Amino acid sequence: MARIVAGVTTSHVPAIGAMIDQGRQQEPYWAPIFGGFEFSKRWMAELKPDVAIVIYNDHASAFDASIFPTFALGCADRYLPADEGWGRRPVPTVMGHADLACHIAQHMILDEFDLTVVNRMDVDHGLTVPLNLLFGDLKADQAWPCQVIPLPINVIQYPPPTGKRCYAMGQALRRAVESWPGNERVVVFGTGGMSHQLQGTRAGFINTPWDTRFLDNLTLDPLALTRITHAEYVREAGSEGIELVMWLAMRGALDERVREVYRFYHVPCSNTALGHIILEND
């Protein structure tokens, strides 16, 4: 059977992608941020997963205001980096795993978790920036080292799903992966967060004590995190803090008991508190 071997969470700040594309990682503002992923890149190079399932939120790049699937699964062979206003990022085309993705869709839907099958879409910074942070600064004529299955969750059109539902989605995802007869080793990403607010009178809002509790409880008490309401996310983590439900979806796909292998937290990164954690089943 295929196995989920680890989980990774990280913020997906688009300016990180711009700095990589412009070769500005060593500038004083950015060097400590990129430095926080040096261990992670070595860890990932050793892990050598066959597949990365990337749970992220699309930012009106693949989907526009005409349609917002709550949970969507990429079942395509390949995905181009989205044009988010400055042309497509010069990173490798994302190669899918259509057979495994179609199996996951069938298993999850028959398991009564009704996600939307997506056969064509572009992938935005929510997916490409975390791939860079964990796999490195790869250019368009290179290849990402593993296949990728995108799993976007809606958090930009009200109402987004609850964190509890996202955690349950991760559990269903795990059952689907483990019922696949191949031997693939799968790493699951949850991208977004942490506290940040991009607009309005509280723009730039960051809540480090709240973020720290979230980071701690991702390992220690994820069920407590599933009880965080939408109102609490907005109040305590800012209007875009809701992206943290991606982290709960990732966490649901792991064992109840996990080991925190690595943590990095840095303020500020653009308008966000950047958070990053690597978890392995204990």
Q: What angle do helix axes 14-21 and 125-135 make, rounded to 10 degrees?
A: 60
- 186 is a contact residue toward ligand DHB (CB under 6 A): no
Phi, psi of 66 (to 5 degrees): -80, -20
Tokens of 254: 């792991």
With CB under 6 A as the contact rule, which of the stretches 7-15, 133-141, 208-216, 247-255 interacts with ligand DHB? 7-15
Q: Where are the alpha helices (DSSP H) in 136-207?
A: 163-178
Distance separating alpha carbons of residues 103 and 35, to the nearest angstrom: 38
Query: What is the chain's percent helix, strand, coil content, to nearest 5?
Result: 35, 25, 40
Choice from 5, 15, 168, 261 touching ligand DHB (CB under 6 A): 15
Number of residues that bind ligand DHB (CB under 6 A): 13
- 226 is a contact residue toward ligand DHB (CB under 6 A): no
Distance separating alpha carbons of residues 57 and 154, to the nearest angstrom: 6
Q: Closer to ligand DHB at the Cβ: 7 or 275? A: 275
How far apart are CB 172 and ligand DHB at their closest, in Å?
25
- 270 is a contact residue toward ligand DHB (CB under 6 A): yes
User: Is 276 one of the catalytic residues?
Assistant: no
User: Is 59 one of the catalytic residues?
Assistant: no
Distance separating alpha carbons of residues 7 and 254, to the nearest angstrom: 7
- 103 is a contact residue toward ligand DHB (CB under 6 A): no
With CB under 6 A as the contact rule, which of the stretches 90-98, 192-200, 218-226, 248-256 interacts with ligand DHB? 192-200
- 14 is a contact residue toward ligand DHB (CB under 6 A): yes
- 191 is a contact residue toward ligand DHB (CB under 6 A): no
Q: Where are the alpha helices (DSSP H) in the chain?
A: 14-21, 31-35, 38-47, 98-110, 125-135, 163-178, 208-220, 222-226, 230-237, 245-252
Choice from 100, 272, 273, 278 touching ligand DHB (CB under 6 A): 272
Active site residues: 125, 196
Residues within the interface to ligand DHB (CB under 6 A): 12-15, 59, 192, 196, 198, 240, 243, 270-272
